[in-house]
Amino acid sequence: MPTVKNEQVVDKWSILIRNAQGRAGYIFGNTGNAIDQSDVPSVRVVKRKISPGLLKGLLGATRDFMVVTETGNRKLKPYQMFIGARDYGNNLDVSWYLTYRLTFWQRLRAFFRALPLIGLLFIGGEPIDFEKGLPNLDFFDEQDLRAYTTNVHGCLKETVEKLLAELGQDPSKINWKSRGFLGIS
């Protein structure tokens, strides 16, 4: 079962929609359709149960998320977006999280780097600081990452706006800007 930890989240956005209980399927379905209709050939969308950790997952603490992955640029493989929608009382909590998750080989290298003596064989390996820039991404890669995340954000925004209109709520007061290193709006 896939897990997402807080330290993997590099950007995020959320909203609590009043009196929208039971509309998670609406968010997932319409957002998935909007992503498909955006006609970006290298984006994959799957719905999965996600856990905040292995032990919690084994104990049944899971939530449904749409997992969106950009597959056309291999350097963007560590970046995945998780779109969530869940009831919170009679409201609907809608959110997305952009994560940076190390590949298997990056995790293996980090493991060996942490071992005494063996770690001396590895040069570099500073911790990733997203405020200083994107790890291993050139100008074009960063442009692809911004386009991918902005497209997904826009598809979710379109869906949320439609739902708010159906509920007779005003979307003009919503802060659409993400909270993270990309600052998508």
Q: How far apart are the first and last CA of the chain?
A: 31
**Residue 176 falls inside a structural domain:** no
What pLDDT does 114 receive?
63
**Residue 179 falls inside a structural domain:** no
* Spatial CA neighbour of 29 closest among 64, 73, 56: 64
Does residue 175 surpass a pLDDT of 80? yes
What pLDDT does 135 receive?
62
- How distant is the alpha carbon of residue 18 from its chain centre? 23
**Residue 185 falls inside a structural domain:** no
Q: Could you give the number of structural domains in the chain?
A: 1
What integer is the mean pLDDT of 135-152?
88
- Residue-wise pLDDT for 53-93, tens only, equals 777 666 778 899 999 999 998 888 889 999 999 999 999 99
Percent helix, strand, coil in the chain (nearest 5)?
40, 25, 35
Could you tell me if residue 23 is left (phi over 0), alpha (psi between -120 and 50 degrees) or otherwise beta?
alpha
- Provide the domain limits for residue 104: 6-170
